[in-house]
Structures are given as C-alpha cells and as structure tokens.
Structure 1
Amino acid sequence: MKQLLEKNEKEILLEDRSILTSPLQRRSFLQFAGVSVAGIALVAAGCKKDKNDTPIQTGVTLDFKDDFGVLNYAYALEQLEAAFYIKVASAPPSAFTPAEKAYFQDIQFHEIAHREYLKKALGTAAVGSLEVDFSSINFADKASVLGAAKAFEDLGVAAYNGAGKRLTTPAYLLAAGKIVSVEARHAAYIRDLITPGSFAANDVIDANGLDKAFTPTQVLAAAGMYIKTKINVVGLTA
C-alpha cells in the first residue's frame, strides 16, 4: 500500500505541475480537473476504508474519521458555490458591467471544476447532491449578489485553511492547496468590486499576514442558511 501511495503521489505531482505555471483559464482548469483527478482516484481506490454501515435516514453524512470525510466536506462547499455562480451567470444583475459578467462566468467554471474534481476523487464515497436555499439573496440586485459572493469566497478560503491539517494524504493536501489559492483569487476580486483595496482587509487577514482559518463547525454553521439538506457530522472532535 505504501508503494502504491508513493507511486501515485509522484504521478499526480507530475500531472498537476502545469496548474502552478499556467494562467488560470476556463479551458485549462477544466482540463486539469479531468486529468489529474484520475491519479487521486487511484489512491482513493487503493486506500479507501470500509464505509460505516450505520444507516442515516435523512440528509448526508460527513464523517471526519479519515481523509474522505474532509474531501466530502470540501465537496459539499463546492456544490454550494457552484450552484450560486451558475445561477448568477445564467441571469446576472442588470447593473453588472460586461467585464463583471465575464468574470462571474469564469468563476462559475472554476467552481464547477472544483466540484467535479472532488466528486471524481471521492468516487463511490461521495455524498449526494445538496439542495440549496438562496432565498435570502436577491439575484437581480448587484449589491446582494456581490455580498453573497464575498461571503461564499471568504468562507471557502477559511474552510480550506482550517481543514488542511486534517488531511493525511499528501496528494489530497496538494490538491486542496491548489483549490484554496484559486478561491483566494476569487475572494480578492469580489472584495475589490465592493470596496477597492479591501482584498486583504483585517477581517480576513490576521496580524501575521495570514488568511484566517475556520473549523468545520464554524463553516457549517455559517453555510447552513444556504443549505436545505440536513448535514450529519460524525467524528469531529475539534
């Protein structure tokens, strides 16, 4: 098992290297998501632990006992973000400029790529599709859309930062690091649309110049207002 893990990690590192050196464009990111996930899926197939047979009658379960729980946690958040940006891109506020419409289209494709990347990596261990609730967002109003986008992106960055320490497989940690760097770019762009120069304000950057990190409990509590599906959390001790 150790040799299989090391072999696949090396393959993933070689396959994914291009994302660090190439511009993050829609097509290249989608290609990355489709290609590099094959390597991670092999690790998942070789190292997957037996699933808990305890039945859960409603909702989805995030079991933080292993890496698959953390990946499903990220997958749930990416489902939420993708659903939001798909809705915005399909009918942007009339006050959006052509440039803003184009940027939100690109962010939409990034979030879809993140969602599909994690879904493929998880394989049969992936939780089901979440039902979202965006009733608190006025999608016809630019300020409401930007405010929601800011909340989603800031929360996404803090969520990945807080979850990284829970991952034990280097390949998964590498993938999470690449995703959170993209989320941070989104967050910086959205923040500057709302208030120029606020891309690294004190509410998201600590005294050491580092992005803040939130625990899964904090993140799920904040995201809960946008998710109808019941989320059952197992194995979370901190």
Structure 2
Amino acid sequence: MKETNDEGAVQKILTTQLNRKTFLKYSAIAGSTMAIGLEACHKDDNPSMSNGTVDVGSGDTGILNFAYALEQLEAAFYIQVNASMYSGATNEEKQILADIMNHEIAHRDFFKAALGSSAIMQLQVDFSKIDFTSRASVLATAKALEDTGVSAYNGAGQYITNGDYLTLAGKIVSVEARHAAAIRDLLNPKSASFAGDDVVDPTTGLDFSRTPNAGNPSIVATANTFLKTKISATKLP
C-alpha cells in the first residue's frame, strides 16, 4: 500500500482560513456549554498515559475524550484524502469528501476546545495500510471509519450523564450518520446499502451501537490500527 508524503499539501489544508474560523466558532460554543461543566469533574476522570498508550479517562470526560480521539483520526484521514485526491475522482466525490473533511475538522476542534486542559494529546496517525491513490482503498476506509464512528457515539451516549453533552453528542452523531450514508452511496450508487442491515437493525429500524471495548475487533482496536499513538478506554464501559 502507498501512503502519500505530500506534507506541504496537508499543511496547507491544516492552516486554511476555514479551519481557524471553525476553531474560534466552536471554541466559543464549547466555552458556554461544556468546558465549565468539565471543570467540576473528578480528577480521577482525567486521561492518563502508560507505556506509550493514552487512556481516555472515565465519566463524561472519558467519553468526550474518546469521541475526540475518533474525531482526530477522522479529520486527519480526510485532510490526507483531500490533499492527495485519488485519480479519476468526480466533482461530486471531491465536493462530498471536502464537505466531510470540514465537518470532521469542526468536530475535532470543538472537542479540543470543550475539554480544555482535560483533553488528551494530539494523536499521531498511521495510514501506511491505506493507498490514497486508490478510490477503492480510500472509500473503503472512509466507510469503516464512518460506520465505526456512528456505532461508537450510539454506544457511548447512553453513559453520558450531563444533558448538554448528550444533546451535542446527538447532533454530532446525526452528522456522522449522514457521512456514512454518503460514502456508502458513492460505493453503491442508488442502492439500499446506505442503510444496510449491517448497520441498521432491520427489526427495530435503529442504528447498531457499540461500547468502546465491545466486539471483536472493538472500536478501540479498530481505531488503533490507524494510530501510532495508541489509545485505551479501560475506565469506560
């Protein structure tokens, strides 16, 4: 597999005016709705580092850091995709992938601002198994990340105790679900796969949910396949 080394293109995207504006916008929102509440969390809830692995912590802080880790990963992936778009991408595909990138950057920056001093470190990614020149490789990875993200939010949301945090998490997961549907439609246009039985329970009509450590592989394990800085969620359900 081939990983692009076009650091200049990646850096250009990282420093766009949009990124600065969204960070300021979401910093303001976070400051008024979430960060104040996190100051009251117990010290034991905070993340920790052991043997090079970052544990996201416990309680609401841990859940938000877990979401922040996933958003860091997704943002980094889509930044790389847009910095080195695969050959033959249609204008529609370019627009969809750019829109998703902007959403993920906003989500990432929102959690960073909201968590403040309780935020985990910036994670180093490992995309060596992704061929960014291949449409199939890029979209398959995007599908895996989006489907994983939706089920992760659904699984962790039930443990959020603060109503404001839960409302915001619900708004973010609805966007992530739109991303998942869009990617699935690119892979299988005009099919029913955008809400296939592998992600939506045909009996209840609801998205599947997974807690951080459940399943084989777990969401934590799946995320770690794309991370140099490994994460754990030993204090979460």
Secondary structure, counterpart of 2:55 in structure 1? strand
- Conserved 8 A contact 2:200-2:207: yes
State the alpha-carbon separation in 1 of the partners of residues 111 and 231 from structure 2: 18
Aligned to 2:37: 43
Q: Does 1:216 align with 2:194?
A: no
Aligned to 1:226: 226
Secondary structure, counterpart of 2:147 in structure 1? helix
Of the candidates 91, 95, 98, which is equivalent to residue 98 of structure 1? 91
Secondary structure, counterpart of 1:60 in structure 2? strand
Q: CA deviation at 1:57?
A: 4.7
Secondary structure, counterpart of 2:233 in structure 1? strand
Q: Does 1:168 align with 2:164?
A: no
Q: What's the TM-score, normalizing by structure 1? A: 0.82
Q: CA deviation at 1:54?
A: 7.5
Q: What's the TM-score, normalizing by structure 2? A: 0.82
Q: CA deviation at 1:76?
A: 0.4
Aligned to 2:124: 131
Q: CA deviation at 1:90?
A: 0.9
State the alpha-carbon separation in 1 of the partners of residues 80 and 49 from structure 2: 33
Q: Does 1:159 align with 2:152?
A: yes
- Counterparts of residues 1-238 of structure 1 (less than 5 Å): 30=22, 33-39=26-32, 40-45=34-39, 47-51=40-44, 56-64=50-58, 66-196=59-189, 197=191, 198-206=193-201, 207-217=203-213, 218-236=218-236, 238=237
Alpha-carbon deviations, 1:163-193, whole Å to 9, x = none?
Answer: 0011000011011001000000000000000
Q: CA deviation at 1:222?
A: 1.8
Q: How many residues are matched?
A: 209
Q: Which amino acid aligns with 1:202?
A: D
Q: Which amino acid aligns with 1:168?
A: T
State the alpha-carbon separation in 2 of the partners of residues 95 and 32 from structure 1: 35
Unaligned runs of 5+ in 2: 1-17
Secondary structure, counterpart of 2:133 in structure 1? coil
Q: Could you say if the C-alpha distance between residues 214 and 103 of structure 1 is closer, same or farther in structure 2, counting changes exceeding 3 Å? A: same
Q: Which amino acid aligns with 1:213?
A: S
State the alpha-carbon separation in 2 of the partners of residues 159 and 232 from structure 1: 14
Q: Which amino acid aligns with 2:211?
A: T
Aligned to 1:6: none
Aligned to 1:3: none
Alpha-carbon deviations, 1:71-93, whole Å to 9, x = none?
Answer: 00000000000000000011111
Q: Which amino acid aligns with 1:142?
A: R
Alpha-carbon deviations, 1:133-190, whole Å to 9, x = none?
Answer: 1111110011110000000000000000000011000011011001000000000000
Greater percentage in helix: 1
State the alpha-carbon separation in 2 of the partners of residues 165 and 92 from structure 1: 37
State the alpha-carbon separation in 2 of the partners of residues 195 and 53 from structure 1: 40
